[in-house]
Structure 1
Amino acid sequence: MAFPTTLYEGMVLDDRYQIVRRLGHGGMSQVYLAHDLKLPGKEWAIKETIAVSSKYREADVETAMLTTLSHPFLPRIVDFITGHEAGYTYMVMDYIRGETLEEKFRAHPEQIDVPFILRCGDQLLSVLEYLHQHEPPIVFRDMKPSNVMITPDGDVRLIDFGIARTFKPAENHDTIKLGTVGFAAPEQYGGGQTDHRSDLYGLGALLLYLATGGMYSEWLDSMPGLIRADMPEHAVQAIQRLLQPDPADRFQSANEARQALYVKPLQRSRGQHGSPTQVIQWNKTTQVIALLGAGSGTGTTHTAIMLAHYLARRNHTVALVEMNGAPGAFARIQQVAVAGMNEQQQLRQSRHFELEGVHYWREAARAEVVSLLSGSYQFIVLDLGRYKQSDRLEEFLRADLPIIVGSGAEWRYQDVIEMMVAMNSYSREKWHYCLPLAQEESVRRLRKELATDQVYAIPCQPDPFDEDEQIDMQLAVLLQRCLPIVRKKRKFRLGLQLF
């Protein structure tokens, strides 16, 4: 820090924010944890920087723009305090619990595996896509490990907008060249203007850094032999393209890069020397089925269990993942599943247990789901819980088969309609709708209201683990867009009525 701080433990900034302690510092800024005296129990991160008074107006405009941002992988910026006689400014933002990617890399390098690297890339590209589509577009310009937070759930947060700028098409070069050496794009040091493709280069440099154990952030001719051997070939090719010196040779959008990096691959995995070895078997890809309830008590968990066991009875490898806002059902199922085991065996089951060929994952985070995608499952069924309580909307939107579960009761008919109004901005082409216990008339009404025939009634089934010919016929219709299924004999019947 080139300038002394004005903040200290116990002081109150702007009659509201009481400083607790310093969280970190950089070359021109320091970050502090603060309590909100107007909102008891609320904590904020306050970033202190210094600027000449002539730049206050520009800083105010930029910060006003940043306060409008809303994305699950970005902290909210809620306040900006200026007016200090020495030129200090204070940005108030969400306090993100966790560790920076740099800290995680140094403390737990063994956790930086391929699923983790690909997940970071996917989520960061999601943020960049959002920033670049902003009006006007926002260029981050400083993608590096210390600017990425990893939350306890394994999700990322892009945290430092210190040198972010809005893209100005009328300008042909940047006034100031900024960015961290090793992660900044070549044009950040030359005579051109940085744009969204500069951020894509920075993302490529960060991914290469992680994939080479912190050894490299710039592409070399020998790089394919230096990247970890278990990195998928398609991901290596995507990183190489992200790191092209000429912006015209890179991906031209974050969405394009995201699709290339996160292909569910049939690609060959790479051997010790980077050469192709074996083809991943399973008829194209893992299928992700995500269920989201239109309201409380619609039977989302019950329906997810029926689907998972239906698929398992037909010889498929299935993971059933609990990601809802009110966990507990899977824990009750586990108590029955492990009955008869000794205490040591029950401990080994942890949050992952198997029942009738279905692998249950209790209270799972995004990190675990992404790791399952790189495994051997043919189907992953996500129980996302109720829509208004779910923070997992992205999982629903990206699923191969998104299913909305609504109540079959006539007086709950509007739940689905209201949910569709709230989600009107999203494409609904592949969405399906399940109405447990609904009458045929309710199905016809909803099909007409939603202008789709992808609405299904699910007959009564008190035991979601059990096999029922009528229900199986309905589930077969629902799943017909997935891969062909082959029956196998049921191992045993579990008589449970849970929901």
Structure 2
Amino acid sequence: MVYPSKLHMGQLLGGRYEIVRKIGEGGMSHVYLAEDQKLQGKLWAIKESVSLPQQYGSIQDEAELLITLSHPRLPRIVDFFAPDGDGYSYLVMDYIQGITLEKYFSGYRGKIPANTIMEFTEQLLDVLDYLHNHEPPVVFRDLKPSNIMLTAQLEVRLIDFGIARNYKQDQVQDTVKLGTVGFAAPEQYGSGQSDARSDLYGMGALMLYLSTGGKYSEWSGDPVPYIRQDIPKALIPIIRKLLQYAPEDRYQTAKEVRIAIQQISKGNISNRAARVTGAIGTQVIAVMGVSSGAGTTHTAIAIGHYLSRSFNKVAVVEMNVKSPSFSRIQQIVNGKETVSRAVERKFEVQGVDYWRQTARADVIALLAGSYNFVVIDLGSYRENDRLEEFLRADIPIIVGSGAEWRQQDVTAMSISLAKHSQHKWKYFLPLAAPDAVQRMRRQLNTSNVFSIPLQLDPFDRSEEVDRAFGYIFQGVVPTAERRKRFRFGLS
């Protein structure tokens, strides 16, 4: 039953939020787009829910739950109106522009590209890992296509926390049995209490659903013949394990699943690239600055052009979407004053392919292509989903300041990321003095700290910088002939 709504277009909720239009509805709720009258132009999503008097606490629980969460793949709640006399309450949260995975799936007629399915899986496991390690742990309990939003960049966002709950260790089973048939774990129907493993079942159901074109979401009968041929075969036992009836027979954490899938992804990428290039596969160099202005983009460009003098296929990828640098370079290359969004994001400078404002799904596609090296410009360090690209890279590079009074920033960043393995990391300190480099090596307990010589033009060859890169990359990359110089400052 769909309850009637109290809201209508043009209505002002709480003297602040003007209702623009309805954007969704369910049995017990309606969702509206609203414009903030105090912050002109700011749009929010308002969820109107209806509950019986004995259930008034549930919507309050949802609000309190969302308030404690902070993750780029979750909506941020900004306001809450408690149930009125008729049981109507309102949550004001981030408006996520995009479409649901359900609509995206329908648009592809059930045949979403295999690499895109893998990318969605990785993103969902990332947010599930966050929820399950929250204090207290949070179980989403309704992982299905209609509860997953996709932005224009194919970034995943989880929506509708209506049945999410905090895990209660001393509770034998769920008080309320909720979840969508076909995607909910067996224990959500009364066989036990739902926990993190229930969401992992839902993850397996979603993976099977996408992999079979919507034909299966449960491991009943034999779904293997219906799994598409382009889906990695090694993914099948992972899905099957996720869909085990007993929670103890499944993977126990999202991290375990992520590790298993990353091994598959890396193997497929390497094998595919090796067949195309005859080499060991696409190598990823991720460049991240300790802070803004550290020279991250400059360094990524310099590395890309250094590599291109020895390898035919090199790409420099911009994943720092707020940076105007690649747009400016493309303007110069194209001889235009501005670069519109409709313009092809790929352009070339001296044989190096540049990819402007690139989403993670596109990066995975690049890795499956013919590039020898992909150099990713991640911008400045933030504790968000971009950090994962840095951690997964073959050569992660941190760019810090060469000024001694700023070098503690590098140490602080290393400490804040101490839970991650750092043995592969390389630290670039432009123009740092030799004694400063030695001091940083002692503080970080690594020899991978290097001073980078001055290079005014990252597109041009510098003998001194080439020698430094040759030493840093252990002489694996040979030198090549000088090419025509590209000047960034050209109008």
TM-score (normalizing by structure 2): 0.88
Q: What's the offset of the Cα at 1:317?
A: 3.5
Partner-residue secondary structure (3-state), 2:267:
coil
Give the distance between the partners of 1:452 and 1:496, measured in 2 at CA.
36
- Look up the equivalent residue of 1:178 and give its one-letter code: L
Q: What's the offset of the Cα at 1:421?
A: 6.5
Change (3 A) 1:282 1:160: farther
Change (3 A) 1:491 1:336: farther
CA RMSD across the alignment: 3.2
Change (3 A) 1:315 1:498: same
The question of whether the paired residues in 2 share the 8 Å contact of 1:440 and 1:457 is answered with yes
User: Which of 293, 312, 333 is the equivalent residue of 1:297?
Assistant: 293
Change (3 A) 1:268 1:239: farther
Q: Deviations over 1:368-404 (max 9, x none)?
A: 1122233333322111223469973332343332222
Give the distance between the partners of 2:82 and 2:145, measured in 1 at CA.
29
1:188-267 equivalent positions in 2, closer than 5 A: 188-263=188-263, 264-266=265-267
Give the distance between the partners of 1:219 and 1:390, measured in 2 at CA.
34
TM-score (normalizing by structure 1): 0.86
The question of whether the paired residues in 1 share the 8 Å contact of 2:321 and 2:357 is answered with no
Q: Which residue of 1 aligns with 2:346?
A: 352
Change (3 A) 1:235 1:51: same
Unmatched tracts of structure 2, length 5 or more: 336-340
Unmatched tracts of structure 1, length 5 or more: 271-275, 340-346
The question of whether the paired residues in 2 share the 8 Å contact of 1:268 and 1:280 is answered with no
1:172 and 2:172 matched = yes
Give the distance between the partners of 2:422 and 2:209, measured in 1 at CA.
38
Q: Which residue of 1 aligns with 2:481?
A: 490
Q: Which residue of 2 aligns with 1:29?
A: 29
Partner-residue secondary structure (3-state), 2:217:
coil
The question of whether the paired residues in 2 share the 8 Å contact of 1:45 and 1:93 is answered with yes
Q: Which residue of 2 aligns with 1:98?
A: 98
Give the distance between the partners of 1:354 and 1:144, measured in 2 at CA.
40
Partner-residue secondary structure (3-state), 1:266:
helix
Q: What's the offset of the Cα at 1:459?
A: 1.2
Q: What's the offset of the Cα at 1:220?
A: 4.3
Q: Which residue of 1 aligns with 2:386?
A: 392
Change (3 A) 1:349 1:77: closer
Change (3 A) 1:490 1:231: farther
Give the distance between the partners of 1:303 and 1:388, measured in 2 at CA.
18
1:311 and 2:302 matched = no
Change (3 A) 1:260 1:417: closer
Change (3 A) 1:32 1:301: same
Partner-residue secondary structure (3-state), 2:44:
strand
The question of whether the paired residues in 2 share the 8 Å contact of 1:266 and 1:281 is answered with no
Change (3 A) 1:241 1:490: farther
Change (3 A) 1:427 1:44: farther
Give the distance between the partners of 2:81 and 2:438, measured in 1 at CA.
56
1:89-488 equivalent positions in 2, closer than 5 A: 89-109=89-109, 112-263=112-263, 264-266=265-267, 286-315=282-311, 317-334=313-330, 350-387=344-381, 392-410=386-404, 412-413=406-407, 415-417=409-411, 419=413, 428-480=422-474, 485=476, 487=478
Q: Deviations over 1:342-370 (max 9, x none)?
A: xxxxx999321344443221221222112
The question of whether the paired residues in 1 share the 8 Å contact of 2:142 and 2:180 is answered with yes
Change (3 A) 1:308 1:109: farther
Q: What's the offset of the Cα at 1:160?
A: 0.8
Identity %: 52
Q: What's the offset of the Cα at 1:452?
A: 3.3
The question of whether the paired residues in 2 share the 8 Å contact of 1:125 and 1:255 is answered with yes
Pick which of 176-185 and 384-393 moved more.
Answer: 384-393
Partner-residue secondary structure (3-state), 1:233:
coil
Q: Which residue of 1 aligns with 2:338?
A: none
Q: Deviations over 1:36-80 (max 9, x none)?
A: 233333221111112222333354244313211001111112232
Pick which of 6-15 and 118-127 moved more.
Answer: 6-15
Q: What's the offset of the Cα at 1:214?
A: 1.9
Give the distance between the partners of 2:446 and 2:39, measured in 1 at CA.
46
Aligned length: 483
Give the distance between the partners of 1:267 and 1:394, measured in 2 at CA.
19
Change (3 A) 1:261 1:389: closer
